[in-house]
Amino acid sequence: MTSSGRTTRKVVLFTALLAVMLVWGCARAPRRPKVAAPLPPPRVQPTPQEMALQQAMRKFYGAPYRYGGTTPAGVDCSGLVLAVYQRVGLSLPRTTTDQFTAGQPVPRNRLRFGDVVFFNRYCYGKEKMAYMASVFPPEHLSEICHAGIYLGDGRFIHASTSRGVEISRLDAEAWRRSFVGARRFFRGEESKSH
C-alpha cells in the first residue's frame, strides 16, 4: 500500500470515527420506560380511599413535568396533588400555597400514607431565578412552592421539574432542609405505618 493510500485510509477512518462520535454525543438520552411505580402499600388493611389513591398515583408515576399540567401526559407538583385527589373524589385547591392552607396540619413525626408534604425548594425570587432552600435569606423560608404525597417509609411522590413524577426520600438533605409542613385530607383512623 502506498503512502497516499495509507493517508486516504486514515482520513476515511478518522472521518468515520468523528461521525460516530458526533452522532453518539448528539443522540437523545433514551426515554425512561414507564414501569409500575414502586409504591409501598399504604398499610396492612388499606381503606378503599387509600387503595384508590394508590391506584391514581400509579397512573402518574414517570409522567413528564409540565407547568400547569394535571394529567399523566404532563403535570406540575400541585397539579399532581390536585389530580390524584380528584380521582378519589376529594376536591383540593390548585396551588401549593392554597393546598397548604387547606386540610388538617400534621406533624412530621405523625405522617401517614396520603398526607401532602410541602417544601420551600424550587421557589422563585423576584427575578424569577430558582433558588434552593437555605441558600437565600430567611424571609424566603416561609414561601411554599413544592408539594408531594407521602407514601410511607420516609418516601413521597412528586413532580420534579427535571425528572418528572418520581419518588424521593424525605430524609435526603435537600428535602429535609426545605420541608415546611404537611396536611392531611383523609379523615379517619390513624394509620400504623409511618
In angstroms, rounded to a whole number, what is the distance separating the alpha carbons of residues 131 and 183? 24
Active-site choice (123, 140, 158, 194):
158
CA distances for 96 relative to 16, 27, 100, 141, angstroms? 52, 36, 6, 14
Cell of 52: 384508590
140 part of the active site: no
Active-site choice (123, 140, 145, 146):
146
Mark 127-151 as b/e (b = at least 16 C-beta within 10 Å).
eeeebebeeeeeebeebbbbbbbbb
Catalytic residues: 77, 146, 158
